[in-house]
Amino acid sequence: RGDSAVRVTNGTPTTMAELRESIHVIRELANSRAVEYKGATLQFPWSRGSELDVWVAAYGPQALKLTGEVGDGFILQLADPDIAAWMIRQVKDAAAAAGRDPDAIAFCVAAPMYVGDDWAHMRDQCRWFGGMVGNHVADIVSRYGQRGAVPGELTDYIAGRTGYDYNSHGRAENDHVDFVPDAIVDRFCILGTAADHVAKLEQLRELGVTQFAGYLQHDNKEETMRVYGESIIPAFRGGITAKR
């Protein structure tokens, strides 16, 4: 609906109705079909047999409902298993109510991943993420109130939030994230040894998560990628032998 690009220009997010229409138009055009848009019938003449799934990122109740009704996939920007379980259920329930197959929707968790053993340092490098999520949570709280619309595990931690600076958006050196406690960093991100990462990813997979997108806005990019390639990703693959 519009995040940093909209906010820094003093714009406002699009409505849910506009988002719903946009998803429909994008899906039809990207799948080689004609679509009605503002009184005109549009189609890409060069597109033959194209295929594109449309995924929706969401936190709030209405966006989660919309995702279940029209999305091919759901993107959740945090790796807390309890919150993920609740939000996946909201999306699946909305899909079922709309007559769709809930199990046909893909689920992606997107969050910082940092491989290491210095927990204080890892937390400080990834605390920006709690600030970023808190920026969206603040919108939810301002609309629905502190409790009820989404789990308290998501809304309670922003009580000490005083603002957000988009000049340091997505950066480890973000200076507006002191309100984010260590426990939130641990819950929202995937930190620790390779075994810690595998354990949390496995927990998310059991909840129905089908894809993980890792953020590398920190000072240990290369090592984290190396360990993912050598140890973590292989842990989720079945064994393949050259000859059976």
Q: What is the CATH number of the domain that holds 78?
A: 3.20.20.30
Cα distances (angstroms) measured from residue 218 to each of 124, 134, 171, 208:
9, 19, 8, 28
- The per-residue DSSP string of 11-51 comes to --PPPHHHHHHHHHHHHHHHTT--EEETTEEE--TT-SS--
The helix/strand/coil state of 204 is helix
Asked if residues 69 and 90 have their Cβ atoms less than 8 Å apart, the reply is no
Residue 19 lies in a domain: no
Residue 202 lies in a domain: yes
- Render pLDDT for 165-197 as a digit per residue (tens, 0 to 9): 777 888 888 877 889 999 999 999 999 999 999
- Angle of helix 194-206 versus helix 81-97 axis, rounded to 10: 20
Residue 12 lies in a domain: no
Q: What domain count does the chain have?
A: 1
| Residues sharing a CB contact under 8 Å with residue 99, sequence separation 6 or more, in sequence order | none
Residue 23 lies in a domain: no
Residue 40 lies in a domain: no
- Could you tell me the pTM of the whole model? 0.89
Residues of the chain with pLDDT under 50: none
The helix/strand/coil state of 222 is helix
Residue 201 lies in a domain: yes
Residue 213 lies in a domain: yes
- Render pLDDT for 206-228 as a digit per residue (tens, 0 to 9): 999 999 999 999 999 999 999 99
- What letter does residue 239 receive in the DSSP assignment? P
The per-residue pLDDT of the chain, averaged, comes to: 92
Please report, rounded to a whole number, the percentage of residues in the chain having pLDDT higher than 70. Answer: 98
Residue 120 lies in a domain: yes
Residue 100 structural domain: 53-236
The helix/strand/coil state of 111 is strand
